[in-house]
Amino acid sequence: MVEPEERPSVAGQRLGAPESMGISTLEPGQRPPTMPPGRRVSIRVQMLDDTQEVFEVSQRASGKVLFDLVCAHLNLIEGDYFSLEYQDQRKMTVWLDLLKPILKQIRRPKNTILRFVVKFFPPDHTQLLEELTRYLFALQIKHDLACGRLTCNESSAALLVSHIVQSEIGDFDEVQCKQHLLNNKYIPVQDALMDKIIEYHRKHVGQTPAESDYQLLEIARRLEMYGVRLYPAKDREGTKLSLAVAHSGVLVFQGHTKINAFNWSKVRKLSFKRKRFLIKLRPDLNQSSCQDTLEFMMGSRDCCKVFWKICVEYHAFFRLFEEPKPKPKPVLFTRGSSFRFSGRTQRQVIDYVKDTEFKKVPFERKHSKIQYNSSFSPSPPRLCAEGQGEVSVMYLSPVSRSPQHSESPSAGQVMVNGQKQSLNLGQSPDGRQPSPLTSPLLTDAGFIRTDDEDEVRRKRFPTDKAYFIAKELLTTERTYLKDLEVITVSFQKSVEKDEAMPDSLRNLIFANFEPVCKFHETFLKDVEQRLAQWEGRSNAHIKGDYQRIGDVMLKNIQGLKLLTAHLQKHSEALLELERMCRSSRKLEGLCRDFELQKVCYLPLNIFFLRPLHRLMHYKQILERLCKHYPPTHDDFRDSRAALADVSEMVVQLHGTLIKMENFQKLLELKKDLIGIDNLALPGREFIRLGCLSKLSGKGLQQRMFFLFNDVLMYTSRGMTASNQFKVHGQLPLYGMTIRESEDEWGVPHSFTLFGQRQSVVVAASSASEMEKWVEDIKMAIELADKCNGPSAEILSSSFTDSKSPEESSADQESDDDLSASRTSLEWQTPHRSNTTVHVCWHRNTSVSMVDFSVALENQLSGNLLRKFKNSNGWQKLWVVFTNFSLFFYKTHQDEYPLASLPLLGYSITIPSESENIHKDYVFKLHFKSHVYYFRSESEYTFERWMEVIRSATCSSSHIRSLSRKEPHVY
């Protein structure tokens, strides 16, 4: 029996909802609906793992009360994708209405078994942020395969079964696999496919149950019958058909073949009249003889109503931002059904999970023989949170291995003082991330450092500021060398496996990177030796004064000057790589696949600019050193000479760096956009990107805007496998004017853009955001007016064919469905969802090219202690700041980060006394409900971390990023 009063409080906090929000999770601190008084009845529910549970509810309880109890029993957060179904007295399978009393729907509860099943199938399983949710979806797929509802070809069926077997028995063992397949039937034709299933299973070695679930859903979602329930019908000619509903609209099948689809954006109204099911379509301006009402005959009025109700629910769940409000009841009489969708929409579910931190609760996989402690989840985070998501960023993303690999710490565990410590995970198996709204969560345990150890360490090391400046050189040099090895080791190794890269390009890249990498290996050893001597960890300090770093810097900067020719070739290598990728689909795929590897924690082309950025880091370090030393100090002369040499190199290469940063940013943005041809044109310069709300007939809608020196584009994110942004329109800047219009439209922080062909009203999220946008747009308009007239169209032909810009834009606005466009996605591998564009989208902020440049110049590395707001322990982590994000490692020797935290939208402050952080050098990062405390080792490092993080959390304003007169020539 499952008594509502006996449920653990944590489940009560995670499940249920106020009446206005339907069936879903509660805000923290609230409780599930109270059970109405009265006699109890027992209701049997069959779960997706085929077990049955008995729940006791009041005779007056609504369906929502029972459903909340089921979700609480499962500890399920994303319950909105599921529902309860049963067979009524007419032997029809119907959904339990959550708003009506149970006993008014189920006449004989003792003889009725309700089934807990998936109701809403999203287009992309990466939108499911909890591992438990994906596990339940995998069980649904397994059931649909077994009963023949999910049909597919033999190869797909065998592959699906092989992932199920991997999840249930682990890595391949031929005898065990054959015996398991003989004892368990997963598909009707399993015997004929036995050899093929075994062949596929052999290839899944090392794949965890969570990864198997992920791969199972990845394959299943591409099948035509995925999530499809067929409802028999006939057309006007009497031809037997089947109707179905999906996230994208209403589908028509003949047998198991889809013959037509009516997208939600094309459907004006759905209705039924007795046995007739009617679909009214929006008029198609391009077809004069288009039939605007389609009619289908179904078996009975009840069948018609059942299908109509599920269509209403699918439309609301996937298309609306929030639950529709109930219509007021008429006073005298009613006309038509009063049925409405009850529950959270998919958008609300995703936002809720991202905005709320939950402690991951392990769950038991009833069908798996593997001893597996569930902790795999793409929600931070993905932020993985989030990374996805969403923390999609790289969020805590290690994946634990199968049992035979358990002798060494898994990726989900780390060794701390000889003990295994777990990490919360936040990334999908293939590295893709969910939405980056939340942050990666390191567990409250682990990485504990005692105050005694910390005090001993402080007394042992020098306290001179010059020492900490030298130590910053050491820590950032370690990170820089790792970044060089991404190109010289990892990328080169990946290229050698394939012959896609021409020898000329191979030589251009590696012949110019390897000498630089070897030089910095020696440089790093010199710095490490000097710091060891400075700290007194060797006997060398007895023979001389080693408490300085300027002499080491001078010697190596002079050596680096001899490599200037190689440094100049790096930008040429980036240009040539991009040119070759445009002409070779194979090479482009190779680079895209490499970017999905964990070692490539940033976009690949950023690594090509690292040597130029490193010169600026040296300059900044030497400037601080010279400012600290008095002219009489022994190290001052060497430091000043090294500063002069590196400044000369910076000046020499600065023009190239500015051009390449802009080029790199255009290449990066191109990956995030659908419908753009030739974004990286000569002369085009990126200025700002970010979220604005656009006023349309539907009201204010969130859009991502991209500002260049010739055009302003607006887009929305398509919920596809790659989460790219779909372009809705472009506003050429030539001849544009801008006017603040808050009073005119009554919308805070709004302004109107008047173009030569159309006008657009947009609103910023705050006064400061509006100020940045208005200033940058005015600057861009001035630049466009100084050029030689209007710029060329940058939208691809698929968005501008035979229509005026206004018509094209209007069409795209109305076609804002969740499936988005797939014209250019069929061959694309999904890329990271933690790019700056996605972070800005989820955090409703913007970022400029100046911000990008500052973030790349302000790289910092080192150890930090990290604390949760509700725990006392501190975790020691190796942390790298770059590209607006903090990347977390166990140690500086790690090949790739365990997690990342994008900082855009976060605030950095010092903890108040009420927070009881009685430690020195602690700073606090917070965004909505997410709070993190970090502790540095000295006043100098504390100030440096505060300085660089502020550069990422505070977007630049009143700074003109385009002061150059000459256009870029690529």
The pLDDT confidence band at residue 55, using thresholds 50, 70 and 90, is very high
Q: Do domains 230-344 and 465-671 have the same CATH topology?
A: no
* Contact criterion met (CB below 8 Å) for 685 and 662: yes
Q: Which pLDDT belongs to residue 358?
A: 55
Q: Which two tokens stand for residue 145?
A: 């395969």
**Strongest mean pLDDT among 444-453, 655-664, 669-678:** 655-664
Q: In the structure, what pLDDT confidence band is assigned to residue 293 with cuts at 50, 70 and 90?
A: confident
d(CA 835, CA 833): 6
Task: Average the pLDDT over 68-95 and give the result.
Answer: 91
Residue whose pair of structure tokens reads 């290598």 in the numeric block = 573
Would you tell me how many other CB atoms lie within 10 Å of the CB of residue 819?
A: 19
- Per-residue pLDDT tens digits for 864-910: 999 866 667 788 999 999 988 999 999 999 999 988 899 988 999 99
> Pairing state of beta strands 113-118 and 40-46?
parallel
Do 324 and 316 touch, CB atoms closer than 8 A?
Answer: yes
| Rounded Cα gap, residues 948 and 879, in angstroms | 13
Query: Mean pLDDT throughout 504-527?
Result: 92
**Residue 47 reports pLDDT greater than 80:** yes
The predicted pLDDT at position 69 comes to 93
3-state secondary structure labels for all residues of 820-856: CCCCCCCCCCCCCCCCHHHHHHHHCCEEEHHHHHHHH
- Asked if pLDDT for residue 22 goes beyond 90, the answer is no
Residues 6+ apart with CB under 8 A from 851: 884, 951, 952, 955, 956
Contact yes or no for 22/71 (Cβ under 8 A): no
Please tell me which residue, 118 or 423, carries the higher pLDDT value.
Answer: 118
Helix (H) or strand (E) segment spanning residue 211: helix 209-220
Please tell me whether residue 81 adopts helix, strand or coil conformation: helix
Q: Tell me what pLDDT residue 457 has.
A: 53
pLDDT of residue 649: 92
Inform me whether the pLDDT recorded for 439 exceeds 80. no
Q: Which helix (H) or strand (E) holds 605?
A: helix 604-628
Non-local (6+) Cβ contacts of 879 within 8 A are: 861, 862, 863, 864, 886, 887, 888, 889, 934
Q: Are 377 and 412 in contact, with CB atoms under 8 Å apart?
A: no
Phi and psi torsions of 663, nearest 5°: -60, -45
CATH number belonging to the domain at 674-787, selected among 1.10.1280.10, 3.90.1010.10, 2.30.29.30, 3.40.50.620: 2.30.29.30
**CATH architecture of the domain with residue range 465-671:** Up-down Bundle (1.20)
Reported as a single tens digit per residue, the pLDDT across 325-348 is 665 554 444 455 656 677 888 888
In angstroms, what CA-CA distances link 312 with 231, 318, 337, 340, 655?
Answer: 15, 10, 12, 7, 58
**pLDDT score of 119 more than 70:** yes
Q: Regarding predicted confidence, which is higher, 100 or 382?
A: 100
The per-residue pLDDT for range 236-257, each reduced to its tens digit, is 888 999 999 999 899 999 988 8
> Per-residue DSSP letters for 110-178?
GG-EEEEEE----S-GGG---HHHHHHHHHHHHHHHHHTSS---HHHHHHHHHHHHHHHH-S--HHHHH
Confidence of residue 481 (pLDDT cuts 50, 70, 90): very high
Predicted pLDDT at 265: 82
User: What's the whole-number mean pLDDT along residues 34-38?
Assistant: 67
Distance CA 69, CA 41 (A): 14
Q: Report pLDDT digits (tens) over 848-857.
A: 898 888 887 8
* Phi (first) and psi of residue 513, to 5 degrees: -90, -35
Question: pLDDT tens digits, residue range 376-393?
Answer: 343 333 333 333 333 223
Torsion angle, alpha carbons of 792, 797, 800, 801, to 10? 130
What is the helix (H) or strand (E) element at residue 901, kind and residue range? Answer: strand 899-902
pLDDT of amino acid 347:
85
- CA terminus-to-terminus distance, the chain: 71
CA nearest to 471, candidates 408, 552, 401: 552
Exposed/middle/buried for residue 596 (C-beta within 10 Å: 0-12, 13-18, 19+):
middle
Give CA separation, 860 vs 265, 599, 784, 878, 879, in Å: 48, 18, 37, 11, 8
Residue type, 69: L
Predicted confidence at residue 720, as pLDDT, reads 54
pLDDT at 344: 87
**Structure token pair of residue 695:** 């006023």
Question: Which pLDDT score is estimated for 362?
Answer: 62
The pLDDT > 90 percentage for the chain reads 39
The two tokens of residue 390 are 């969403």
**DSSP one-letter code for 489:** I
Residue 810, pLDDT > 80, answer: no
**How many CA atoms, within 13 angstroms, populate the side-chain half-sphere of residue 552?**
24
Bigger pLDDT: 917 vs 968: 917
> pLDDT (tens digit, 9 = 90+) per residue, 483-495?
999 999 999 998 8
Share of the chain above pLDDT 70, in %: 74
The per-residue pLDDT for 797 is: 37
- Predicted TM-score of the model (pTM): 0.57
> Is-contact 398 408, C-beta < 8 A?
no
In sequence order, what are the residues at sequence separation of 6 or more whose Cβ sits closer than 8 angstroms to the Cβ of residue 334? none
Token code pair at residue 804: 């005026």
How confident is the model over 534-583, as pLDDT tens digits? Answer: 887 655 445 557 888 999 999 999 999 999 889 888 888 989 998 898 88
Model confidence band, residue 66 (pLDDT cutoffs 50, 70, 90): very high
pLDDT higher than 70, residue 863: yes
Domain assignments of the chain as residue spans, ordered by start: 230-344, 465-671, 674-787
**Rounded mean pLDDT, 402-429:** 35
* pLDDT at 964 (0 to 100): 34
* DSSP 3-state of 92: coil
What is the length of the chain? Answer: 970
Let me know: does 60 contact 101? Beta carbons within 8 Å.
Answer: yes
Q: How does residue 412 score in pLDDT terms, banded at 50, 70 and 90?
A: very low
- Specify the pLDDT at position 253: 93
- The pLDDT tens digits for 714-757 are 998 765 556 788 888 888 988 889 988 877 777 888 899 988 88
pLDDT for 469:
94
By three-state DSSP, how is residue 203 classified? helix
- Binned at pLDDT 50, 70 and 90, residue 185 comes out as very high
- The CA-atom distances, in angstroms, between 162 and each of 140, 149, 156, 212, 851 are 16, 19, 10, 9, 48
Q: Where does 187-266 show beta strands of DSSP type E?
A: 231-234, 240-246, 249-254, 257-263
C-alpha 965, offset from chain centre: 37
Residue type, 900: S
- For the cut 80, the answer to whether the pLDDT of residue 129 exceeds it is yes
* CB neighbour list of residue 560: distance below 8 Å, 6 or more residues apart: 519, 523, 646, 649
Q: Which amino acid is at 467?
A: Y
Q: What are the CA-CA distances from residue 31 to residues 72, 78, 325, 813, 946 (Å)?
A: 11, 17, 23, 40, 40
Q: What gap in Å lies between CA 649 and CA 558, rounded to an integer?
A: 10
The fold of the 230-344 domain, in CATH, is PH-domain like (2.30.29)
Question: How many other C-beta atoms are found inside a 10 Å radius of the C-beta of residue 797?
Answer: 10
How do strand 249-254 and strand 899-902 relate by DSSP bridges?
unpaired
Q: Name 731's bridge partners.
A: 712
- CB under 8 Å to 678, separation ≥6 — which residues? 794
| Tens-digit pLDDT profile for residues 195-229 | 999 999 999 988 999 999 999 999 999 999 999 99
Please give the pLDDT value at position 464. 84
Residue in the block written with tokens 């409900």: 929
pLDDT given for residue 498 in this prediction: 74
Binned at pLDDT 50, 70 and 90, residue 56 comes out as very high
Q: What does the pLDDT read at residue 288?
A: 53
Average pLDDT score over the chain:
78
What integer pLDDT is reported at residue 331 of this predicted model? 43
pLDDT at 435 over 70: no
Residues 589-612: tens digit of each pLDDT:
898 889 888 899 999 989 999 999
| Alpha-carbon radius of gyration of the chain | 30
pLDDT at 329: 54
Q: What is the pLDDT of residues 620-658, one digit of tens each?
A: 999 999 999 999 998 999 999 999 999 999 998 888 888
Q: Which residue has the tokens 């078996």?
A: 299
- Rounded distance between C-alpha atoms, residue 752 and residue 842, angstroms: 24
